[in-house]
């Protein structure tokens, strides 16, 4: 695991990786590009992400980013840089 990223404290609600420094402050996850807005309801549309958390998670499972347009921007092989736990 990359020691520079090993100390992230917060888990992204979309991809499940510990990739965030803070919660609810519009930080963008480097793993899936979800903008953390504090919304955790799966079926409420997140304003900055323009979709529900459920849809963001489905997209991450399918192609590795919350939206196709961000595939080129996300960290490749995130499991080598960030830890993940079930959520």
Residue range 58-78: mean pLDDT, rounded? 96
Q: Does a structural domain hold residue 51?
A: yes
In this prediction, residue 5 has a pLDDT band, given cuts at 50, 70 and 90, of: low
Q: Domain span at residue 74?
A: 10-80
Specify if 14 maps to a domain: yes
Q: Residue 24: what pLDDT?
A: 83
Question: Does position 87 have pLDDT exceeding 60, yes or no?
Answer: yes
C-alpha 3/C-alpha 15 separation (Å) is: 20
Phi, psi of 63 (to 5 degrees): -140, 10
Looking at residue 34, its pLDDT comes to: 98
The number of domains in the chain is: 1
Residue 55 belongs to a domain = yes
In a domain, 48, yes or no: yes
Indicate the pTM of the whole model. Answer: 0.88
Is position 3 within any domain?
A: no
Task: With H, G, I as helix, E, B as strand and everything else as coil, classify residue 46.
Answer: strand
1 — pLDDT class (breaks 50, 70, 90): very low
2 in a structural domain: no
Could you tell me if residue 31 is inside a domain? yes
- 1 domain residue, yes or no: no
For tokens 């609600």, the residue is: 13
Tell the residue number behind the tokens 């990786």, with chain if given: 17
Rounded distance between C-alpha atoms, residue 70 and residue 81, angstroms: 18
Structure tokens at 41: 């309801």
């Amino acid at each position: 695991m990359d020691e520079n990223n090993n100390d992230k404290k917060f888990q992204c609600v979309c991809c499940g990786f510990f990739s965030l420094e803070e919660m609810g402050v519009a930080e963008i996850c480097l793993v899936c590009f979800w903008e953390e807005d504090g919304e955790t309801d799966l079926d409420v549309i997140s304003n900055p992400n323009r979709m529900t958390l459920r849809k963001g998670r489905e997209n991450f499972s399918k192609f590795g980013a919350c939206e196709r347009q961000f595939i080129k921007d996300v960290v490749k092989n995130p499991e080598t840089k960030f830890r993940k736990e079930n959520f």
